[in-house]
């Protein structure tokens, strides 16, 4: 695991011409970048393409990286913006969170009550407005702080806080409604 | 069934996130013990929270992800100021403006505009009542505008349509 200082040195060496070292940065952040793109695009192949594109963009813009900021935050902003522009370009091909419900439920080996609840929450999540859903999904990706989510989405931290709280309350409400409906159909 | 106030719900979220101080926490816990409504709501919010924390794990990209990125470093990212649609509209606008200018030019609209710009020089004790005459040809000016328009049209064609198109084709392996 490389530290922030080592990361800055690495960036200096990449800028000095040792471009193969960029693979170290890609390896370190690829899972985060891919997950982030997945949250925005909801589609594996598009997410992979967008995340790769974002890394290529980041490499070309590396000279402009201000070392007062964290490299990860800077990179995630590029990934987020790239994913958003992919989404705008490929609107008809966009798969909503409902598609991932199938994916998750297929993964479930045993249909326990807990698994059903997870499916219900994913259904409830699909009902959230897009910005709230993105904010809550990004916030609960490991290591993304509220400041980072705000920075990535280009929004005020208070707005993000409101979005996340509202989304959590709404999810709890939706879950209650869905569970009631399920109980009635039994 | 009574509904909780937004302030109470906010307090519950802060409680679950561990943001309440010791006194607030003790008070709220006592309140939760007394109210079944609060107890149910805490359970619901707790479930949502634990689900979100557990379910949102990192996804792994394909094995050749890093290799693909390193391979693609030589391709310049598409840096277009406008979307292809906006670029096309702007391009059409520039072409229409150029065509109108050309039509006006061929119909001789600017033939009569050859004139002189007369500028009155500031008067002082050495220069009195002097006017400067600069020859001005409207036809040349319009020609320059048309030329600049065409240059802009070519630039737009390159940046917003052709370059992104060919980069996309290259990245798709055509």
Is B69 domain-assigned? Answer: no
> B28: pLDDT confidence band, cut at 50, 70 and 90?
very high
Domains present along chain A, CATH in parentheses:
4-92 (1.10.1740.10), 96-185 (1.10.10.10)
B102 pLDDT higher than 70: yes
Contact A140, B53 (CB under 8 A): yes
Q: Which residues of chain A have pLDDT under 50?
A: 93-110
- Six-digit token string for A23: 């693979």
What whole-number distance in Å separates Cα of residue B60 and Cα of residue A51?
A: 12
What whole-number distance in Å separates Cα of residue B135 and Cα of residue A186?
A: 93
- Six-digit token string for B82: 């406008």
Total residue length of chain A: 186
Contact B75, B170 (CB under 8 A): yes
What whole-number distance in Å separates Cα of residue A93 and Cα of residue A96?
A: 10
Is B64 domain-assigned? Answer: no
In a shared domain, residues B166 and B106: yes
Quick one: pLDDT at residue B128?
A: 59
The closest CB to that of A136, out of B44, B52, B66, belongs to B52
Q: Which residue does chain B place closest to A25, by CA atoms?
A: B66
Is B88 domain-assigned? Answer: yes
Where are the alpha helices (H) located in chain A, listed in sequence order?
4-15, 22-41, 44-61, 71-89, 97-107, 113-126, 130-139, 146-153, 157-185
Average pLDDT, chain B: 78
- Six-digit token string for A30: 């690829």
pLDDT in tens, B105-152: 888 777 765 555 566 656 666 655 556 666 667 778 888 888 888 888
The closest CB to that of A30, out of B52, B56, B65, belongs to B65
Range of B38's domain? 6-55
Give which of A158, A160, A159 is closest to A149, Cα–Cα. A160
- B interface residues, A as partner, C-beta within 8 Å: 9-10, 13, 41, 44-45, 47-49, 51-53, 55-62, 65-66, 68-70, 72-73, 75-77
Q: Which residue does chain B place closest to A52, by CA atoms?
A: B69
Is B66 domain-assigned? Answer: no
Is B1 domain-assigned? Answer: no
In a shared domain, residues B121 and B165: yes
Answer yes or no: is the ipTM higher than 0.85: no
- The pLDDT of B81-94, averaged and rounded, is 76
In a shared domain, residues B131 and B91: yes
């Amino acid at each position: 695991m490389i530290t922030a200082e080592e990361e800055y040195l690495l960036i200096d060496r990449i800028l000095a011409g040792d471009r193969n070292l960029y693979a170290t940065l890609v390896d370190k952040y690829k899972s985060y970048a891919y997950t982030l793109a997945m949250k925005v695009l909801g589609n594996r192949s598009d997410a992979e393409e967008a995340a790769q594109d974002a890394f290529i963009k980041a490499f070309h813009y590396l000279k402009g990286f201000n070392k007062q900021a964290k490299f990860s935050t800077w990179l995630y902003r590029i990934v987020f913006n790239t994913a958003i522009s992919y989404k705008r370009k490929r609107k008809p091909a966009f798969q909503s969170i409902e598609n991932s419900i199938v994916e998750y439920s297929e993964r479930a080996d045993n249909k326990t009550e807990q698994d059903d609840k997870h499916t219900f929450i994913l259904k409830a999540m699909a009902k959230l407005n897009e910005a709230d859903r993105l904010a809550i999904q990004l916030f609960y990706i490991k290591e993304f702080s509220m400041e980072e989510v705000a920075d990535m989405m280009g929004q005020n931290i208070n707005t993000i806080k409101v979005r996340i709280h509202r989304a959590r309350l709404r999810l709890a409400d939706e879950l209650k409604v869905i569970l009631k409906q399920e109980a009635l159909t039994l | 069934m009574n509904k909780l106030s937004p302030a109470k719900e906010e307090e519950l979220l802060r409680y679950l996130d561990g943001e309440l101080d010791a006194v607030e926490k003790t008070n709220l816990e006592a309140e939760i013990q007394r109210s079944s409504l609060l107890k149910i709501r805490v359970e619901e919010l707790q479930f949502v929270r634990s689900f979100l924390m557990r379910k949102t794990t990192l996804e792994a990209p394909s094995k050749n992800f890093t290799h693909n990125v390193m391979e693609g470093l030589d391709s310049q990212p598409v840096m277009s100021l406008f979307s292809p649609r906006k670029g096309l509209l702007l391009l059409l606008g520039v072409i229409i403006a150029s065509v109108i200018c050309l039509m006006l030019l061929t119909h001789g609209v600017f033939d009569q505009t050859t004139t002189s710009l007369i500028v009155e020089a500031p008067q002082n004790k050495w220069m009195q009542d002097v006017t400067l005459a600069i020859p001005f040809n409207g036809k040349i000016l319009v020609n320059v505008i048309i030329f600049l328009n065409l240059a802009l049209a070519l630039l737009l064609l390159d940046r917003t349509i052709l370059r992104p198109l060919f980069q996309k084709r290259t990245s798709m392996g055509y």
